[in-house]
Amino acid sequence: MIGCSERGQWQMPETQHEGRRVGEVIRKARVLRRRSQKDVATALGYHQSKVSRLENGRGTGDIAVLRALAEELGIPPGQLGLASEADASAVGPDTVPAHMHRRTFLAAGLAALTPPPATPTPAHDDLVQVLLPGPGPSPTGVPSDPTALRERVGAVRRLFYTCDYTTLERVLPGLIADLRQAVSDAVTDTCALSGMLATAYQTATSLLLKQHDQGNAWLAVGRAMAEAERSGDPVILASSVRVQAHVLAREKHAAQAVTVVRCTADQLAGSYDRRSPKFLAALGLLLLRGVTAASGGGDRAACGTFLAEAKEVARYVCLERPDAWANFSPTNVALHEVSALVALGDTGRALQAARPLMHRPIPVPERRAALWVEAARAYSRQDRLADACRALQVAESCAAQDVRRPAVRDLVADMAARDRRRTLPQLHEFSRRVGATA
């Protein structure tokens, strides 16, 4: 959930409280030493606005800057929420650099709780490696000016929407490494670069969730949240909160996911006619994540509220193209309504809502496949296994890699196991093709 500071910059509520406390410690130490903000900033090689922002509780997630300030002003590291140098050396300088964001420690611990996929690929190992604490892989050497980096971020988003997960997993680590280097080296445009890096981490989170690698998804979303806060962009923050809610819901924390979405959406809502398409798309997708979380937790009231709000936002924006910044539209809202009805057990209503969509052009392969997978779930729950199999075959024609993810393979395995007399050879052939084990 995010909040708005005095100058309109968006932060997480827990970060706001901690940021204000740290900022006050810095201000008191500076005043006690009778030094101006400009004097301190010059001594550290920063602009005065950097110190001003810190004292106002913004940008306090940058541990390297906090350590430099602590040394310059004689502030005990513990007062700024930092470990002492002795504590840091005990952890090991080669494994945990001082600049690592505190949230990454938490995410790394959570990642250890969930094992990686049974057969991790070298590309998967590279992706996990670039998310871990430490310096990370070396940059690729590909041109990394802001324009080129923005184009590469757009390219990985397209790979996700077109369900080319194999290529996405291969190119994401290099992009993240290049973006991390660009953020580290940047003198200007640091907020924009942090925003791009946050988007790359968001994409990594979504990919890892597709692979049912929740542990490393926690690690990726921790990175995404840290960079989103540094960007100061409410659109990027809303998108990071969305993937955070996705991870929470996947880990059966539906109520917490609903709360995160609700509090964030409340602060972004309103004045839709004066908002940019990107802002509205980010808000709309956040509300749709609330639909998924609420329906997964059986909360019909919250699900209905989120759906109604998403439909209202969709009146003002329509981004149907696969190459759009974010795929939000009335069609996407309708698709989430189908998914919610299936999750709530209303299979008849779900299929009724799905039928018009089956004849509607849906340009994004991932969304087309999702429609037919949800239809298959509904048919399966009605014991209409032949219809469910046909729906899955259509989904495969839309996005072959998407029907090979663990969640769909589990559905196929369950269907095949229920056909004990093997009256549906096409189902068992499909099961073998996607690697499902009955």
- Higher pLDDT among residues 5 and 233, named by residue: 233
**How many CA atoms are closer than 13 Å to the CA of 49, on its beta-carbon side?**
1
Residue 71: what pLDDT?
85
Is residue 186's pLDDT more than 60?
yes
Indicate the pLDDT class of residue 338, thresholds 50, 70 and 90. very high
Whether residue 118 is predicted with pLDDT greater than 70 in this model: the reply is no
Residue 5, pLDDT > 90, answer no
Measured from the Cβ of residue 400, the count of other Cβ atoms closer than 10 Å reads 15
**What's the whole-number mean pLDDT along residues 31-39?**
80
Given this model, what pLDDT does residue 17 score?
A: 63
Report whether 294 contacts 303 (CB < 8 A).
Answer: yes
Identify which has the larger pLDDT, 326 or 390: 390
13 pLDDT band, cuts 50/70/90, is very low
* Tens of pLDDT, residues 189-220: 889 999 999 999 999 999 999 998 988 999 99
Output the pTM of the full model. Answer: 0.70
First to last CA, the chain: 41
pLDDT at 322 over 50: no
pLDDT > 70 fraction of the chain, expressed in percent and rounded: 83
pLDDT of residue 120: 65
- Answer whether residue 436 shows pLDDT above 90: no
Give the separation between CA 189 and CA 371, rounded to whole angstroms. Answer: 40
On whether the CB atoms of residues 40 and 28 are closer than 8 A, the answer is: no
Q: How confident is the model at residue 16 (pLDDT cuts 50, 70, 90)?
A: low
pLDDT at residue 18 is higher than 90: no
Categorize the per-residue pLDDT at 176 as very low, low, confident or very high, splitting at 50, 70 and 90: very high
User: If pLDDT is split at 50, 70 and 90, which confidence band does 289 have?
Assistant: very high
Mean pLDDT of 32-49: 77
Give the range among 105-109, 134-138, 335-339 with minimum mean pLDDT.
Answer: 105-109
Q: What is the pLDDT of residue 173?
A: 94
Residue whose C-alpha is closest to residue 110's, from 290, 259, 248: 248
- For residue 108, what pLDDT is reported? 41
| Three-state secondary structure readout of the chain | CCEECCCCCEECHHHHHHHHHHHHHHHHHHHHCCCCHHHHHHHHCCCHHHHHHHHCCCCCCCHHHHHHHHHHHCCCHHHHCCCCHHHHHHHCCCCCCCCCCHHHHHHHHHHCCCCCCCCCCHHHHHHHHHHCCCCCCCCCCCCCCHHHHHHHHHHHHHHHHCCCHHHHHHHHHHHHHHHHHHHHHCCCCHHHHHHHHHHHHHHHHHHHHHCCCHHHHHHHHHHHHHHHHHHCCHHHHHHHHHHHHHHHHHCCCHHHHHHHHHHHHHHHCCCHHHCCHHHHHHHHHHHHHHHHHHHHCCCHHHHHHHHHHHHHHHCCCCCCCCCCCCCCCHHHHHHHHHHHHHHCCCHHHHHHHHHHHHCCCCCCHHHHHHHHHHHHHHHHHCCCHHHHHHHHHHHHHHCCCHHHCHHHHHHHHHHHHHCCCCCCHHHHHHHHHHCCCC
* Confidence band, pLDDT 50/70/90 cuts, at residue 114: very low
For residue 353, count CB atoms less than 10 angstroms from its CB and return exposed for 0-12, middle for 13-18, buried for 19 or more: buried
Residue 429: pLDDT band with limits 50, 70, 90: very high
Over the Cα atoms of the chain, what is R_g?
23
pLDDT, tens digit, 9 for 90 and up, residues 241-272: 999 999 999 988 999 999 999 999 998 888 88
Cα 113 to the center of its chain, rounded Å: 19
Render pLDDT for 58-112 as a digit per residue (tens, 0 to 9).
766 567 778 888 888 888 888 887 754 444 344 333 333 333 344 444 444 444 4
Give 57's pLDDT tier (boundaries 50, 70, 90): confident
Task: Output 88 or 127, whichever has higher pLDDT.
Answer: 127
Mean pLDDT of 44-66: 73
Highest mean pLDDT among 64-68, 111-115, 185-189, 339-343: 339-343
Q: What average pLDDT is seen over the chain?
A: 83
